[in-house]
């Protein structure tokens, strides 16, 4: 723990705050661990034992199609229902308790829509080159990501709404960084409701999309008091997230197990233009509330 605090301290000196991933069940702890991509259909879920029974397709180089039991996280056992198609990574175990991680809804049409928009975003970022960063007054880039229910959400859905936007990741253990940011967003959501601000949406995009699957985001929303009626947690392809970070001027990079990142909070107007931006963690919900149209 001392090493962690020291490391964070050094990163603050370097102008970036660090969020270690060591608190999480990191795959890095067992580098030799084999992972096999699989697809299948959920047969049943047992929340008490944290087990999903899945009828899976053939896993190339490992086993033919069959129905078997997998240990999964609490978030995953809560999110996936019988009959749902999934894709995931299958992790064998000598003890027989095989695991599934990185479980996503398996929907080819949704994947294609998200991939197409990610390709367009890639091209847009490249064409803009050194001018990729979107200033206050400029429009936000178009995107298509998944929300905490695994539904595809496009930027077009937010036209006609005021949007509070930030970037976080669920495993961030540094209280003053992502957890504080989320707490302020929740506080703003409540203040805005009480003030009768119309058509407000809040959006947090994950900086760590490989770990932050829709199910993980759904659990995060539940444990952080987020009312998902107008607060979406988004994740998606790593490439799309990287391009969004570039265009929104946020630095986030893994240095081994450490995710170093900056924080920015934005208010976007009904026409999709950036109205206000606060860099760092010292923003106040009331400042943003005052800038919202009533």
Pairing label, strands 200-206, 162-168: parallel
Cα angle for residues 174, 183, 147 (degrees, 5° grid):
95
Length of the chain: 294
Stretch that binds Cu ion, among 12-20, 85-93, 107-115, 182-190 (CB under 5 A): 12-20
Q: Are the C-beta atoms of residues 235 and 207 closer than 8 Å to each other?
A: no
Q: How far is the CB of 38 from Cu ion (least distance, A)?
A: 31
Take residue 56 and report the two structure tokens written for it. 């899976």
Asked whether position 19 contacts Cu ion by CB under 5 A, the answer is: yes
Q: How far is the CB of 201 from Cu ion (least distance, A)?
A: 22
Which one among 177, 185, 200, 274 touches Cu ion, defined by CB under 5 A?
177
Pairing label, strands 200-206, 85-91: unpaired
Instruction: Give the nearer residue to Cu ion in terms of CB position, either 72 or 172.
Output: 172
Q: How far is the CB of 50 from Cu ion (least distance, A)?
A: 27
Take residue 228 and report the two structure tokens written for it. 């998902």
Cα angle for residues 181, 276, 247 (degrees, 5° grid):
80
Stretch that binds Cu ion, among 51-59, 92-100, 175-183, 250-258 (CB under 5 A): 175-183
Distance in angstroms (rounded) separating the CA atoms of residues 190 and 183:
11
Q: How far is the CB of 19 from Cu ion (least distance, A)?
A: 4
Comparing every residue's Cβ against Cu ion, the nearest one is: 172
Q: How far is the CB of 261 from Cu ion (least distance, A)?
A: 6
Asked whether position 11 contacts Cu ion by CB under 5 A, the answer is: no
Using CB under 5 A, list all residues that contact Cu ion: 19, 172, 177-178
């Amino acid at each position: 723990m001392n090493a962690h605090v020291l490391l964070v301290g050094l990163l603050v000196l370097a102008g970036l705050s660090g969020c270690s991933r060591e608190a999480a069940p990191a795959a890095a702890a067992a580098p030799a661990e084999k992972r096999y991509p699989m697809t299948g259909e959920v047969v049943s879920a047992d929340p008490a034992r944290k087990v999903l029974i899945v009828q899976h397709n053939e896993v190339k180089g490992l086993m033919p199609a069959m129905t078997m039991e997998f240990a999964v996280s609490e978030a995953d056992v809560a999110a996936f229902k019988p009959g749902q198609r999934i894709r995931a990574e299958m992790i064998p175990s000598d003890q027989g308790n095989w695991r599934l991680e990185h479980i996503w809804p398996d929907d080819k049409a949704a994947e294609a829509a998200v991939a197409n928009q990610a390709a367009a975003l890639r091209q847009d970022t490249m064409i803009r080159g050194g001018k990729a960063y979107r200033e206050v007054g400029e429009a936000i880039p178009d995107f298509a990501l998944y929300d905490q229910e695994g539904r595809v959400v496009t930027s077009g859905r937010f036209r006609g709404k005021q949007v509070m936007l930030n970037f976080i990741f669920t495993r961030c253990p540094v209280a003053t960084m992502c957890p504080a940011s989320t707490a302020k967003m929740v506080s703003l959501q409540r203040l805005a409701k009480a003030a009768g601000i119309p058509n407000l949406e809040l959006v947090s995009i994950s900086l760590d999309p490989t770990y932050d699957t829709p199910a993980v985001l759904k659990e995060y929303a539940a444990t952080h008091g987020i009312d998902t009626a107008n607060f979406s947690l988004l994740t998606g392809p790593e490439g799309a997230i990287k391009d969004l970070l570039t265009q929104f001027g946020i630095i986030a990079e893994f240095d081994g197990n450490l995710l170093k990142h900056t924080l920015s909070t934005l208010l976007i107007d009904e026409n999709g233009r950036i109205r206000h931006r606060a860099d760092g963690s010292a923003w106040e919900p009331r400042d943003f509330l005052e800038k919202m149209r009533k």
